[in-house]
Amino acid sequence: MRIVIILICEAMISPAHASPEKRGPNGEEALPAPHSMAIPSSELLKGQPYVMIEHGGATYWLRSTRSGKLILTK
């Protein structure tokens, strides 16, 4: 005999009642996208030491260090 217990929290039923820590800065749900994608840094850098990224009218620099770390600067 197998017993399955299903718990349904109110936030799952009605996102308007989700707790504040699970909401974004504008009140929208801050839940992860179901199919978020990961892009390898090697694909972004393509063998170069840095890449420029434009976002919100500003330019950012993403660079790889000799020790393999990534640094993003404005």
For residue 61, pLDDT over 80 is answered with yes
In angstroms, the CA 8 to CA 18 distance is: 13
Predicted pLDDT of residue 18: 46
Domains in the chain, please, with CATH?
10-73 (2.10.70.10)
- Look over the chain and give the mean of its residue pLDDT values, rounded to a whole number: 74
Q: How far is CA 45 from CA 23, 38, 49, 64, 73, in A?
A: 33, 14, 7, 8, 15
* Two tokens, residue 64: 């790889």
| CA atoms within a 13 Å half-sphere pointing along the CA-CB vector of 55 | 9
In terms of residues, how long is the chain?
Answer: 74
**pLDDT-derived band at 31, boundaries 50, 70, 90:** low
pTM, two decimals, is 0.49
For residue 6, pLDDT over 70 is answered with no
In angstroms, the CA 24 to CA 41 distance is: 27
